[in-house]
């Protein structure tokens, strides 16, 4: 199994590896080390191996070149501009100290001697300042790629190279290949399970190399996202174009495709011309605990927030990013008297969480906002169950409209009333089942209305879980059987 992260926090990948190993498959999960160290541990009977990934190709070629025609006064790429500006500041600081010393000594002669160096330093500082600002503007233009030349070169590579254009537009994708490729070849797998779009190319190339050497491994592509519909993870204008081209190039090598929703399965068939509809493996929570997990104490959500059982608490659990809409949960707090908010995220000290906490301070509600780290995936459901409602405030992006995301299932198994934005699939299911309230995305007043509704009568919404039979279907154990069937079919002749 291949994944482009450090495995921690990726519940789907962890459950895949653990359940496949429990079903009898010999599983090695390759992930990305958070540092330069190779790391190993086990998930049940599955082996986890994190590989250091060096990323020098993240920089495009033009970022190493000067631009004598476009910006002749700019410094060369690198640290020179910052160095020269700091050097000028140091020179002027030195002259100021020498002038102060001369004044203390009452030496007119020494002060007169400093007039020319001070005048020269002023002139040179202005010159360096001009070049520094020009360099920064050039860096910004290169980052945004808004010039006619940049737009032309992007269009040129797309036209002349087609789907292979990612090699020019985002060569950083090769960094994963160079880190993972040799390891995969040494393992000689019978089946490669590539999670998401970046690992698709790495897995496909490994399969091609193996087949050229006489072996016949199979490739399973696990599509977590509808790539054309995501908000780009990277702000560089070429990043999204490159990822889409990379995915299109290598999707044809997949012997089987699995994905997270029926809608996404249909979109993948249409986009990639798949001859077989992808199997749908929902990212539902596991009902069974891993070996030894029953002896572990589940953290107390309310204790971590410093509140008692009667204090209203709404929770968000998952990735923290602007498009996830977490800001609305803070903005609404002045109108939700006594309500506390818990953000359970991978990095509680991330820049985005710091912005939310700073905004809470401005609104005078900071004591009611709590940033907490993830717990192990098998503890998520009991951990979240201490809350009064689970919130999914995501914005309208095409990829947000098409699936029930992980936290939807986790909240459901925690038997929480839901408060979800009006993205298509989740709002439709929520209204159909009656397990929560739907609000207009990014509308603070409507969000506050929905929260008040579920807090006023939480048992009305919780009762759905007792009678509907939803939770029996939404378990990882049921989904793991589907994945096992995909593996077994591909390797039936073995």
Give how far Cα 103 sits from Cα of 97, 119, 265, Å: 10, 18, 79
Work out the mean pLDDT of the chain and round it to a whole number.
92
- Number of Cβ within a 10 Å radius of residue 24: 11
> Is the model's pLDDT at 61 over the cut of 80?
no
- Whole-number pLDDT of residue 41: 93
> How many DSSP H helices and E strands does the chain contain?
20, 13
- Across the range 249-269, mean pLDDT stands at 95
Among 293, 256, 307, residue whose Cα is nearest residue 376: 293
> Is the model's pLDDT at 299 over the cut of 70?
yes
- Across the range 224-233, mean pLDDT stands at 88
Q: ∠268-229-181 over CA atoms, to 5°?
A: 65
Among 375, 384, 453, residue whose Cα is nearest residue 416: 384
- Whole-number pLDDT of residue 292: 66
The DSSP output letter for 416 is P
Among 312, 308, 299, 421, residue whose Cα is nearest residue 372: 299
| Residue that the structure tokens 């979109």 belong to | 267
Read off the tokens for 50. Answer: 């994190």
Q: In the structure, what pLDDT confidence band is assigned to residue 474 with cuts at 50, 70 and 90?
A: confident
Least confident of 285-289, 320-324, 383-387, 459-463: 285-289
- Whole-number pLDDT of residue 291: 65
Rounded CA Rg of the chain: 28
* CA–CA distance, 14 with 22 (Å, rounded to integer): 12
- Whole-number pLDDT of residue 468: 62
- Whole-number pLDDT of residue 236: 86
């Amino acid at each position: 199994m291949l994944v482009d992260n450090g495995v921690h926090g990726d519940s789907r990948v962890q459950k895949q590896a653990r359940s496949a190993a429990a079903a009898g498959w010999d599983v090695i999960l390759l992930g990305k080390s958070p540092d330069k160290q190779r790391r190993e541990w086990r998930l049940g009977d599955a082996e986890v191996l994190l590989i250091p990934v060096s990323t020098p190709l993240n920089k495009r070629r033009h970022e190493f070149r000067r631009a004598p025609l476009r910006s002749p006064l700019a410094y060369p790429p690198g640290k020179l501009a910052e160095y020269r500006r700091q050097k000028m500041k140091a020179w002027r600081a030195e002259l100021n100290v020498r002038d102060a010393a001369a004044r203390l000594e009452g030496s007119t002669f020494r002060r007169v001697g400093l007039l020319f160096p001070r005048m020269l330093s002023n002139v040179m500082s202005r010159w360096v300042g001009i070049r520094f600002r020009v360099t920064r503007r050039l860096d910004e233009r290169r980052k945004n790629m808004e010039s006619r030349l940049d737009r032309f070169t992007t269009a040129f590579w797309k036209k002349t190279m087609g789907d292979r254009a990612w090699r020019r537009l985002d060569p950083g994708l090769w960094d994963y290949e160079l880190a993972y490729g040799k390891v995969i070849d040494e393992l000689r797998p019978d089946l490669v399970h590539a999670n998401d779009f970046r690992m698709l190319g790495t897995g496909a190339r490994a399969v091609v190399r193996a087949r050229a050497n006489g072996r016949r491994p199979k490739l399973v592509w696990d599509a977590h996202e509808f790539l054309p519909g995501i908000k780009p993870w990277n702000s560089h204008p070429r990043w999204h174009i490159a990822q889409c081209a990379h995915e299109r190039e290598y999707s044809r090598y997949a012997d089987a495709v699995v994905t997270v929703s029926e809608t996404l399965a249909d979109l993948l068939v249409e986009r990639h011309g798949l001859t077989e509809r992808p199997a749908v493996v929902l990212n539902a929570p596991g009902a069974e605990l891993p070996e030894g997990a029953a002896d572990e104490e589940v953290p107390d959500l309310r204790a971590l927030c410093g509140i008692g059982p009667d204090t209203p608490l709404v929770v968000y659990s998952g990735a923290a990013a602007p498009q996830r809409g977490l800001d609305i949960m803070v903005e609404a707090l002045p109108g939700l008297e006594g309500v506390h908010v818990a953000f359970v995220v991978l990095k509680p000290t991330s820049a985005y969480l710091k912005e939310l906490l700073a905004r809470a301070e401005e609104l005078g509600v900071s004591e009611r906002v709590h940033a907490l780290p993830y717990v192990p995936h098998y503890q998520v459901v009991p951990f979240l169950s201490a809350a009064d409602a689970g919130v999914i405030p995501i914005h309208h992006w095409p990829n947000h409209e098409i699936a029930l995301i992980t936290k939807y299932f986790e909240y459901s198994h925690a038997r929480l009333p839901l408060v979800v934005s009006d993205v298509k699939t989740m709002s439709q299911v929520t209204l159909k089942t009656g397990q929560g309230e739907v609000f207009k995305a990014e509308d603070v007043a409507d969000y506050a209305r929905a929260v008040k509704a579920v807090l006023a009568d939480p048992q009305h919404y919780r009762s759905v879980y007792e009678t509907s039979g939803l939770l029996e279907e939404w378990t990882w154990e049921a989904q793991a059987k589907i994945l096992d069937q995909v593996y077994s079919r591909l390797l039936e002749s073995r």
